[in-house]
Amino acid sequence: MLRRTFLAVFMALGAASAMAASKVDIAENAPDSYVVKKGDTLWAISGMFLKQPWRWPEVWKMNQDQIRNPHLIYPGQIVVLDRTTGTLSLGRSVTNGNDRLSPQIYETDATSPIASIPMDAIRPFLVEPQFGDDADSSRLPTVVAAQEERVLAGAFGDTIYAKNLGSGDVWDVYRRGKAIKDPVSEKLLGYEAQFVGSAKVTQPSEGGKAAELSVINAKHEILAGDRLAPAAKSDLVAVPPHAAPAGLTVYVASVYGGVDIAGRNSVVALSGGRNAGLEPGHVVALARTNGKITYRADGDNEKVSLPDSRLGIAYVFRTFDRLSYALIMDSNGPVRVGDKVQAP
């Protein structure tokens, strides 16, 4: 079902590829072809051919005869660049005296397709960090005790007890973290929380008693007072990259991991989410506002506005009502809280 869904998405993209291809610039020194290797991503491969690699869905010339699923591209296959149309396709080299490349189906028994972006970089963030738009509350599902009145739990199979638990078999346990504010307006966006672990209900709450759960994994010790939320699930495996909406202006609100500077493959929180029209798969541009300087060389105190400095590109992979998380795909300098985020 998932494969058919992605095929439908890319068939729709393919219908417009001829028009879009003319607008996508070929990278300098782009090769005529490239052999896919283990660990490659569609983003990285497209970066060899295109100046804007995130626009690869627009220029991959794919149809049902060539490939069943655009994300099922395997090591050993050959990517071919058609410089006339500016499109990419799958094929293999064929020498027939004219030394030309002939696109055709390439069969393989490999079982590990390449991904669109480095999924290992964001996989932990598909369920963590948790983020709450509202202030913490004692009415939320809460760990109240560990087995045999222990102060903490953390090993597989340990028992914990929780109040206010709703329906659901598996729950994520998290600990309230720092408040995240909009760096410009200083408005509170919500609370980022630390993912602690997961637990499965072994005895639901009855008669006003706490529910009993068994720990199934833990990154940290689980303490009384930790909160719970239904286990997160994500179908984010292969969302095609596409441009964020024109007119978008939000800011880097936080760098995940308690550091001040972000770079390539770092995760940053953005001060806008669904309220700003952001969704998983959106590509955004990062820039630093340089403001104004005072020019005094000619004896004047002239105020001169400086242009923004382009810092890089980020891929939005998780959104909340007022905040999003994005993976920095490319950067040419450090990214900091307060940097501007716009459509690419």
Q: What is the pLDDT of residues 24-42, one digit of tens each?
A: 789 888 999 999 888 788 8
Tell me how far apart the alpha carbons of residues 323 and 251 are, in angstroms, rounded to a whole number: 10
What per-residue confidence (pLDDT) applies to 10? 37
Q: Residue ranges of the alpha helices (H) in the chain?
A: 2-15, 17-21, 42-49, 56-59, 119-122
Torsions phi, psi for 242 (to 5 deg): -155, 155
Q: Is 317 helix (H, G, I), strand (E, B) or coil?
A: strand
Q: What is the pLDDT of residues 279-325, one digit of tens each?
A: 988 999 999 988 888 888 777 788 888 888 899 999 998 888 899 99
Residues 6+ apart with CB under 8 A from 190: 131, 132, 133, 134, 179, 180, 320, 322, 323
What per-residue confidence (pLDDT) applies to 302? 86
Q: What is the pLDDT of residues 212-236, one digit of tens each?
A: 999 998 888 899 999 988 886 654 5
CATH number of 242-342: 2.40.10.410
Which residues belong to CATH 2.40.10.410 in the chain?
242-342
Residue 150's pLDDT band (cuts 50, 70, 90):
low
Half-sphere CA count of 208, side-chain side, radius 13 A: 0
Nearest Cα neighbor of 261 from 297, 324, 312, 308 is: 312
Angstrom distances, CA of residue 222 to CA of 124, 176, 271, 322: 18, 12, 30, 28
Half-sphere CA count of 26, side-chain side, radius 13 A: 15
The verdict on pTM exceeding 0.75 is no
What per-residue confidence (pLDDT) applies to 333? 87
Q: Is 131 helix (H, G, I), strand (E, B) or coil?
A: strand
